Structures are given as structure tokens and as C-alpha cells.
């Protein structure tokens, strides 16, 4: 079986999309067409995004929020318009959008709000009104899950070490879903001592979409904050922060067609208001005296230094690009079209890869409640070697533990091969993947 010739319902017009991405026209490894299946790590960028960044530098580059000249005004307007676009994109308010360098920084910003509040409180220093929410005492609990990316695990481990809090986690079942009913590592780990629950919306390894509403409501019932790692959801499906019921949410621009160097932390305004700053310095202050300083309200409080204005403008262009996409049958638009497109690819890939002997998918093997990150092991061949053969065919995937080492340990595998799809991938890319995996099996003699 190979890619169908007739249009498949739900797909984007891949040829048209590809034409917007200059890099996809290049060849790799001795003239092979590039089959880019590593968008889970970082996505490629359309010309519209590159143009928006260049345009900013060519027309209105200046340090935003600093200075009264015309360029500074225009640069600040462009930066703030980007904030508005991002807010609209996820259903939040502009004052609730903090620009960071990436999701890792966004998540650290929140973890540091806790450790900084705790350190200040220990010395009787003042906190923003409501800042008690961020003060931890030894024995307080932080809850994460076993499927977290290191970016949403290590900062919480550090926070526990600094404050004497206890890290607890929700486990993962055989299928790769959160094991909410587990007697020790189920939803029951959220209890009266829980102060914060940090979880992923969509696993970057398993593809699993987690039941965020259920977890967030358990957190809310004990007065804990919920922090959502939306790195793999915001780029791939419609996300409405209000519907999710979380308090804080992080994602990276570079995984959603935007430039590198810009990410977002969204937070409910009252929550952001209660948080002490992470990075301090210029642009985030209200008044400064030699004896001490007071801080600007959010989001400025969390944007110290001259920000990544051109990248934010580029990210807004990426949002515009995603919103303008239409499925080929004309029935869907924007993120709903992106989600439908990836769903078709994922179902096709699961079916085709699943029929290759020796291939075992780690994570849900059905396309329901899962995104397009698809990790697998090929019996008898280490992931690194699989990846090498794929690379030789121009098929670029990720191999290793994908920054989720405990999750790989959970499944008893040292490494997996991960294909991840995006708007410029088509059924032909799935065929190329499957053909390359078969070639790997032949090469290493495990047929």
C-alpha cells in the first residue's frame, strides 16, 4: 500500500504548503530529497515568518519599551501587536502573555517564582499581594507525571531540593496514558499538601494527549496551581486556555513555525500578579532606589532586558500562517485543519508502521486522543542505528530518549526512534519513513 492518489478528506494541500518552506526544497546526504520528520524537536519556518522578521529589522528595529523616538514607538507597537496575536491564538488576554526565550525558560520562571517567594518569605521580605501561594514549606508537595520532558521535570526537582518540598508523580500505563487509577501513582497523589501540579498536554514521545481538565480540577479542589507544558499541543491543535482550566501554560515558538529564541508563558492575571520576578534588571521595574526596587505589573515584570522583538513578530506571523491554513476539502480552517491533517497522517503512519514486522510503537497505537509524535523501537536494531539508515535515505527523525529519560526507563527501552509530523508532511513522507525502516531491517539483517 502506498499513498492514495485521490484527495483524502481532512488533509491540507501539502504541495502548496511546502512551497512556502524554502528549506524543504534542499537535498541531503548525496542528493536525496529531504523528508523532515522532526518537527517535534523544531519545526521549519515558512517564508512569511522569515519575511516578517526581516521586515522588522529593515523597517522599525529599535529597543522596545525604551525611548521615545519614532522607531522605538513602531518597534514597541509591533512587539505589543505580537502579544495580542498570541493572546488571541490561545484564548487569553494580552496582559497574560509573557514572552520568554522558550518553554524551558517559561517553566523555570514559574519554578523560580516558588523558590524566590519561599526564600523571601524565610527572611520576612515582602512579596507581591497573594504571593503566599508561592511560598513552600518542607513537606509541601509538587506533582508531575512520569511522561514529562526534562524541561517540566528537572526545574521541579530543583525546586523540591531548594525548599524541602516533596516531588510526587502520576505514572504512565502500558498504553502510554496517565495511569490515573493507579493505587500509588494515580490521581490520588494530588492531596492536601499539593501546592503545584505540572503536566504535559501532549507527550513529545508517546503522542498521548493527557486529560488536563481532570487533573486541573483535582488540583483546584486542593487549592494547588496547575502548570501545563503545551509545547506539543499549541503547535498542533486548537488550544483554549479558558476551557482547560489551568493556571499557567508554556510553549515554544520554534516548534510552531516561529523563530527560535521566543517562547510564551501564559498565566491567569491574578496568578501572574502574585508571582515574584525570575530574571531582574531593566524594563521590569517600577521604581529603583539604592535601598531596593519595586516591580512593574505583569507581563513586564517577567520580561527583564531588551526582549526578542523581531522573533516575537516572527512568531505572530507564524500564528497568522497557521490560522490561514485550510483543509483541501475546504471544510476546516486554522488549527482545526492542522489537527485534522495530522490526525490523518498519524492514523496512516500507525497502520503502516504497525504492519512492519519487529516494529513496536511506544504509546497509543490508535489515533484517538493522541497527537502525531510517533516513537517506536525496531527489534534487534538500536534507535541510533535506525536513525542512521533513515538519515541515509534523507528521512530525518529524532533518536534517543527525546529528553524524557524516566519515561523511556518506564518502558524498559534505552532509546526510541521518533517521527513527528507537521503541516508540510504528507502521506508520501509516511511511505518514505516506512520504506526506510524496512531498509534498516534489511541492512542490519533482522528480516
Ligand X SMILES: Cc1ncc(COP(=O)(O)O)c(C=O)c1O
Q: Which option in other proteins, ligand X, none does residue 204 bind, with CB closer than 5 to 8 A by kind? A: ligand X
Q: Give the Cβ contact number of residue 326 at 10 Å.
A: 14
Span of 82-90, 146-154, 333-341, 420-428 interacting with ligand X by CB under 6 A: 146-154
CB-CB contact of 159 with 184 (8 Å): no
Q: Which residues, 6+ apart, have CB-to-CB distance to 115 below 8 Å?
A: 136, 158, 159, 162, 163
* Beta carbon of residue 3, minimum distance to other proteins (angstroms, whole number): 25
Q: Which of 197, 231, 264, 319 binds ligand X (CB under 6 A)?
A: 231
Task: Enter the DSSP assignment of 225.
Answer: E
Binding mask 184-203 for other proteins (x = CB under 8 A): --------------------
Order of strands, sheet of 374-378, starting from the edge strand that comes earlier in the sequence:
359-362, 374-378, 416-419, 398-400
Under the binding rule (CB under 8 A), the answer on residue 392 touching other proteins is yes
Q: Which of 30, 129, 183, 330 binds other proteins (CB under 8 A)?
A: 30
H or E stretch at 417: strand 416-419
Span of 30-38, 225-233, 273-281, 429-437 interacting with ligand X by CB under 6 A: 225-233
Under the binding rule (CB under 8 A), the answer on residue 444 touching other proteins is yes
Report DSSP letters for 1-61, one per residue.
----SSPPTT-B-HHHHHTT-GGGG-EETTTEEPEE-BTTT-----HHHHHHHHHHHHH--
* Beta carbon of residue 252, minimum distance to ligand X (angstroms, whole number): 3
User: Do you know the residue count of the chain?
Assistant: 447
Closer of 165 and 389 to other proteins (Cβ):
389
Task: Please work out, in degrees rounded to the nearest 5, the angle formed at the alpha carbon of residue 228 by the alpha carbons of 223 and 234.
Answer: 145
Q: Give the Cβ contact number of residue 53 at 10 Å.
A: 20
Binding mask 401-420 for ligand X (x = CB under 6 A): --x-----------------
Under the binding rule (CB under 6 A), the answer on residue 252 touching ligand X is yes
For 250, the grid coordinates are: 508554556
Under the binding rule (CB under 6 A), the answer on residue 229 touching ligand X is yes
Closer of 127 and 198 to ligand X (Cβ):
198
- List, by residue number, the catalytic residues: 403
Under the binding rule (CB under 8 A), the answer on residue 414 touching other proteins is yes
Q: Which option in ligand X, other proteins, none does residue 201 bind, with CB closer than 5 to 8 A by kind? A: none
Residue 340 forms beta bridges with which residues?
A: none
Under the binding rule (CB under 8 A), the answer on residue 407 touching other proteins is no
Under the binding rule (CB under 8 A), the answer on residue 408 touching other proteins is yes
* Beta carbon of residue 367, minimum distance to ligand X (angstroms, whole number): 19
Q: Distance (Å, rounded) from C-alpha 199 to C-alpha 202? A: 9
Q: Which of 401, 411, 429, 433 binds other proteins (CB under 8 A)?
A: 401
Closer of 104 and 346 to ligand X (Cβ):
104
> According to CB under 8 A, which residues from 372 to 391 bind other proteins?
382-385, 388-389
Closer of 145 and 194 to ligand X (Cβ):
145
Closer of 373 and 433 to ligand X (Cβ):
373
Under the binding rule (CB under 6 A), the answer on residue 83 touching ligand X is no
Q: Which residues, 6+ apart, have CB-to-CB distance to 174 below 8 Å?
A: none
Of 163, 121, 116, 158, whose CA–CA distance to 139 is shortest?
163
Alpha-helix runs per DSSP H in 126-238: 154-163, 212-221
Q: Distance (Å, rounded) from C-alpha 14 to C-alpha 152? A: 33
Closer of 169 and 295 to ligand X (Cβ):
169
Cβ burial of 186 (10 Å; 0-12, 13-18, 19+) is middle
Task: Enter the DSSP assignment of 204.
Answer: T
Under the binding rule (CB under 6 A), the answer on residue 149 touching ligand X is yes
* Beta carbon of residue 239, minimum distance to other proteins (angstroms, whole number): 30
Q: Give the Cβ contact number of residue 154 at 10 Å.
A: 16
Q: How far is CA 14 from the centre of its chain?
A: 23
Under the binding rule (CB under 6 A), the answer on residue 100 touching ligand X is no
Q: Which option in ligand X, other proteins, none does residue 104 bind, with CB closer than 5 to 8 A by kind? A: ligand X
CB-CB contact of 172 with 407 (8 Å): yes
Q: Which option in other proteins, ligand X, none does residue 151 bind, with CB closer than 5 to 8 A by kind? A: ligand X
Under the binding rule (CB under 8 A), the answer on residue 29 touching other proteins is yes
Under the binding rule (CB under 8 A), the answer on residue 269 touching other proteins is no
The residue with cell 542490519 is 444
Q: Which of 44, 118, 200, 300 binds ligand X (CB under 6 A)?
A: 200
Q: Give contact residues for ligand X (rule: CB under 6 A).
A: 102-104, 149, 151-152, 200, 204, 229, 231-232, 252, 403
Q: Give contact residues for other proteins (rule: CB under 8 A).
A: 29-30, 382-385, 388-389, 392, 399-401, 405, 408, 414-415, 443-444
Amino acid at each position: 500500500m502506498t499513498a492514495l492518489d485521490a484527495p483524502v478528506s481532512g488533509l491540507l494541500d501539502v504541495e502548496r504548503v511546502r512551497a512556502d518552506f524554502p528549506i524543504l526544497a534542499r537535498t541531503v546526504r548525496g542528493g536525496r530529497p529531504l523528508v523532515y520528520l522532526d518537527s517535534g524537536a523544531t519545526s521549519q519556518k515558512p517564508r512569511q515568518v522569515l519575511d516578517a522578521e526581516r521586515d522588522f529589522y529593515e523597517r522599525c528595529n529599535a529597543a522596545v519599551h525604551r525611548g521615545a523616538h519614532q522607531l522605538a514607538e513602531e518597534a514597541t507597537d509591533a512587539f505589543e501587536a505580537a502579544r495580542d496575536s498570541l493572546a488571541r491564538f490561545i484564548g487569553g488576554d494580552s496582559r497574560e502573555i509573557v514572552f520568554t526565550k522558550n518553554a524551558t525558560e517559561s517553566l523555570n520562571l514559574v519554578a523560580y517564582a516558588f523558590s524566590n517567594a519561599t526564600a523571601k518569605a524565610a527572611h520576612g521580605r515582602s512579596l507581591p499581594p497573594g504571593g503566599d501561594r508561592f511560598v513552600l514549606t518542607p513537606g509541601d508537595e509538587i506533582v508531575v507525571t512520569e511522561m514529562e520532558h526534562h524541561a517540566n521535570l528537572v526545574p521541579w526537582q530543583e525546586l523540591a531540593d531548594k525548599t524541602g518540598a516533596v516531588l510526587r508523580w502520576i505514572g504512565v500505563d502500558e498504553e502510554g496514558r496517565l495511569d490515573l487509577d493507579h493505587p500509588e501513582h494515580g490521581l490520588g497523589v494530588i492531596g492536601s499538601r499539593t501546592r503545584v501540579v505540572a503536566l504535559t498536554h501532549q507527550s513529545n514521545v508517546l503522542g498521548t494527549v493527557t486529560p488536563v481538565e481532570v487533573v486541573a480540577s483535582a488540583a483546584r479542589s486542593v487549592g494547588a496551581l496547575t502548570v501545563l507544558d503545551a509545547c506539543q499541543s499549541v503547535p498542533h491543535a486548537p488550544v483554549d486556555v479558558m476551557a482547560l482550566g489551568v493556571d499557567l501554560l508554556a510553549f515554544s515558538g520554534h516548534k510552531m513555525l516561529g523563530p527560535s529564541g521566543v517562547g510564551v508563558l501564559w498565566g491567569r492575571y491574578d496568578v501572574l500578579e502574585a508571582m515574584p520576578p525570575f530574571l531582574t534588571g531593566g524594563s521590569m521595574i517600577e521604581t529603583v532606589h539604592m535601598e531596593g526596587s519595586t516591580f512593574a505589573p505583569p507581563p513586564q515584570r517577567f520580561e527583564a532586558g531588551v526582549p526578542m522583538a523581531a522573533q516575537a513578530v516572527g512568531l505572530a506571523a507564524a500564528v497568522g500562517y497557521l490560522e490561514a491554513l485550510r483543509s483541501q476539502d475546504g471544510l476546516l480552517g486554522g488549527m482545526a485543519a492542522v489537527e485534522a491533517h495530522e490526525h490523518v497522517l498519524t492514523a496512516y503512519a500507525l497502520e503502516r508502521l504497525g504492519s512492519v514486522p519487529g516494529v513496536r510503537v511506544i504509546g497509543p497505537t490508535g489515533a484517538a486522543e493522541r497527537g502525531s509524535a510517533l516513537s517506536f523501537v525496531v527489534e534487534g536494531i538500536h534507535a541510533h542505528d535506525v536513525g542512521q539508515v533513515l538519515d541515509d535515505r534523507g528521512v530525518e527523525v529524532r533518536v534517543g530518549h527525546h529528553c524524557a529519560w524516566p519515561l523511556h526507563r518506564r518502558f524498559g527501552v534505552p532509546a526510541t526512534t521518533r517521527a513527528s509530523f507537521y503541516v508540510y508532511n504528507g502521506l508520501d513522507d509516511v511511505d518514505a519513513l516506512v520504506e526506510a525502516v524496512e531498509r534498516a531491517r534489511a541492512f542490519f539483517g533482522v528480516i
